[in-house]
Amino acid sequence: MGISTKKEFETNDFPILDQYEGGSIILTQLDALVNWARANSVWPLTFGTRCCAIEFMAVGASRHDMARFGYEVARATPRQADMIIISGSINYKMAPVLKRLYDQIADPKYVIAMGACAVSGGPFFYNSYSIVKGADHVIPVDIYVPGCPPRPEALLFAFLQLQKKIKREKNFKKNLVK
């Protein structure tokens, strides 16, 4: 790659290029390349525990078409997926399953909590013997999308936020430069 310029990648997201003197230029470039690749091919797991999953399907269908943002295919196995969209409430019987699915996804992995149920236990069921009060009691969540259910546009916005988050990641630098 050499000492490359911004133009090669056609992206203006090189946040750390000018921060440090010398030394790390190639490595930061690699970061940008890796993040660019990762951010544009985040494959969700086919996972839906309740009504929000219907909205998730609508986002996957042609009108809203999440493939435009690289959220290409919903994978039916966690080993091929990059993230989970928790669309629906998680109950105590489901929680160990969700944890196991999350553990089976290869790093880097991301989680979007979609809808009031996944964010906080839900609009109707929060005071219940069976519902986990927010999926973040079980696995770490990157993006929270409120709504019951959230509009497809809200989920698309969450996708874009997640891409922004991925593009800020430092994969190589943190061990070399303080």
Partner 1 sequence: MTNEQLSAYLSARFPDVEIKQGVQYLEITVPAVNLHDVARHLKDTAELAFDYLVCLSGVDYPEYISVVYHLESTKHSHFLVMKVKTKDRQDSSIDTVCDVWPTAEFHEREVYDLLGVKFNNHPDLRRLFLDENWGFPLRKDYVDEVHIVAR
Q: Which residues bind partner 1 (CB under 8 A)?
A: 92-93, 127-131, 133
The DSSP 8-state label assigned to residue 89 in this structure reads -
Sequence-separated contacts (24+) of 70-74 with Cβ below 8 Å: 70/39, 70/40, 70/41, 70/42, 70/163, 71/42, 71/43, 71/44, 71/159, 72/41, 72/43, 73/43, 74/43, 74/44, 74/45, 74/46
Q: Which does 129 bind (CB under 5 to 8 A by kind): ligand SF4, partner 1, none?
A: partner 1
The 74-93 contact track toward ligand SF4, x by CB under 6 A, reads: --------------xx----
Please state the closest distance from residue 150 (CB atom) to ligand SF4, in A: 8
Q: How long, in residues, is the chain?
A: 178
If the CB atoms of residues 93 and 174 are measured against ligand SF4, the closer one turns out to be 93
Tell me the helices (H) and strands (E) count for the chain, helix number first.
5, 3
Per-residue binding letters, 36-75, with ligand SF4 (x by CB under 6 A): --------------xxx-----------------------
For residue 148, state whether it binds ligand SF4 (rule: CB under 6 A): yes
**Least separation, in Å, of the C-beta of 120 and ligand SF4?**
9
